[in-house]
Amino acid sequence: MNLKVKETYKNKHTDAAYECQYLLKDYADITSLELKKIITDVEDLVYLANGSSTKDAWTEEEQNLFEKIRRRLLNTAGSISRLPDTIYDDPNTGDVWGELFR
């Protein structure tokens, strides 16, 4: 399958600034990477909230919550990355895309 995603980028006034198209695989990889970057942002936030202490100085609750967020983001990023390899059109179910996007 050679599916594409059309992305419209908007300016600060929410007017369409420009459009571009990506292959679904490339778009999924970019989106997955952006999700993974959020993990670093959350970790940086916890460091700042703790006065830049080391990870070892975090409370058990902070460590557990960070790991929970990290796992969810990594699982979601992995699912997004695998989407182009696992998506298919099942001829036995009729119009799959029409069903999904009604």
- Phi, psi for residue 23 in degrees, rounded to 5: -65, 145
In-domain check, residue 54 = yes
Q: What are the DSSP calls for 4-25, one per residue?
A: EEEEEEE-TTS-EEEEEEEEHH
pLDDT of residue 49: 85
In-domain check, residue 96 = no
Cβ-Cβ contacts under 8 Å for 77 (sequence gap 6 or more): 31, 32, 33, 35, 36
In-domain check, residue 60 = yes
Give the chain's domain count.
1
Please give the average per-residue pLDDT across 67-82, as a whole number. Answer: 94
In-domain check, residue 18 = no
Q: Report whether pLDDT(31) > 70.
A: yes
pLDDT of residue 100: 63
pLDDT of residue 48: 87
Q: Report whether pLDDT(36) > 90.
A: yes
In-domain check, residue 101 = no
Domain that holds residue 43: 24-88
Please give the average per-residue pLDDT across 18-42, as a whole number. Answer: 93
Task: Give bridge partners of residue 19 from the DSSP assignment.
Answer: 8
Name which of 13, 73, 16, 5 is nearest 39 in CA terms.
Answer: 73
Q: Report whether pLDDT(98) > 70.
A: no
